[in-house]
């Protein structure tokens, strides 16, 4: 992909009113507040599915493609292989500028059925309102099971008025920490340490908060 273009606008499946919406964005009457729901790699070989790109044939001779990424599909696959994408999952811009403050957690220790709320202050520093998407990932530290480096668990979107500060809140409940245990056939929360990763995209971390989950 050429690096000559100063900006790229994509609307994906915007519906029958997308022309009106695109005109508003292009003329600056509306903010491009969307975020990428996928990842664009720098090279085709970087794509997680490429590792398993070995077309096979079924019993009728028809060609089939088997996907073996398992848990490491999408941004998780890039993280696991330490590959920087061209455009990451969650990437997106706003006409308004913003600064993110230091996030705070309601607690640093929870039990397996507990929850923790992270508050992220965001200030719109420019003359225009800023569209902000705050993502919350969970990164297990030294898990016993095979798991991705981090997993998106919660997110929130806000339009911050120019010159003001808004607090975005992310609540991480039990399902943010559990994983599927094939031995028991159930969801399990493993006690231990976890990082709560606050980010604007899969490759754009703003902060990490270490918490402990007890049995």
Q: pLDDT by residue (tens digit) across 151-199?
A: 999 999 999 999 999 999 999 999 999 999 999 999 999 999 999 999 9
44: how many CB neighbours lie within 10 A of its CB? 9
* CATH 2.60.40.10 residue window(s) in the chain: 98-214
2: confidence class by pLDDT, cuts 50, 70, 90:
low
Query: What value does the mean pLDDT of the chain take?
Result: 93
Contact 110, 193 (CB under 8 A): no
CA-based nearest residue to 81, from 53, 134, 43: 43
Q: What is the pLDDT of residue 10?
A: 86
Q: Give the predicted TM-score (pTM) of the model.
A: 0.91
What is the spatial distance between Cα 211 and Cα 64, in angstroms, rounded to a whole number? 44
Q: Which CATH architecture has domain 98-214?
A: Sandwich (2.60)
59: confidence class by pLDDT, cuts 50, 70, 90:
confident
For residue 123, with 0-12 CB atoms within 10 Å meaning exposed, 13-18 middle and 19 or more buried, which class applies? middle
Q: What is the mean pLDDT of residues 13-25?
A: 88
- Joined together, the tokens standing for residue 23 give 């005109």
Q: Is 28 left (phi over 0), alpha (psi -120 to 50) or beta?
A: left
For residue 113, with 0-12 CB atoms within 10 Å meaning exposed, 13-18 middle and 19 or more buried, which class applies? exposed
32: how many CB neighbours lie within 10 A of its CB? 20
């Amino acid at each position: 992909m050429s690096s000559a273009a100063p900006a790229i606008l994509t609307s994906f499946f915007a519906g029958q009113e997308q022309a009106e919406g695109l005109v508003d964005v292009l003329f600056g009457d509306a903010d491009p507040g969307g975020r990428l729901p996928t990842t664009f790699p720098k090279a085709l070989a970087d794509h997680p599915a490429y590792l398993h790109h070995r077309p096979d044939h079924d019993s009728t001779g028809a060609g089939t493609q088997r996907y073996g990424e398992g848990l490491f599909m999408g941004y998780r696959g890039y993280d696991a292989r330490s590959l920087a994408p061209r455009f990451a999952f969650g990437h997106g811009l706003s006409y308004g500028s913003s600064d993110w403050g230091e996030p705070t957690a309601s607690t640093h220790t929870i039990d397996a059925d507990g929850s923790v709320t992270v508050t992220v202050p965001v200030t719109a520093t420019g003359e225009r309102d800023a569209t902000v998407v705050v993502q919350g990932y969970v990164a297990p530290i030294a898990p016993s099971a095979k798991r991705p480096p981090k997993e998106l668990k919660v997110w929130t979107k806000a339009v911050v008025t120019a010159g003001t500060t808004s607090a975005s809140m992310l609540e991480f409940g039990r399902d943010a920490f559990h994983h599927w245990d094939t031995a028991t056939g159930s969801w399990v929360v493993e006690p231990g340490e976890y990082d709560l990763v606050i980010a604007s995209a899969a490759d754009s971390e703003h902060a990490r908060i270490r918490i402990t989950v007890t049995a």
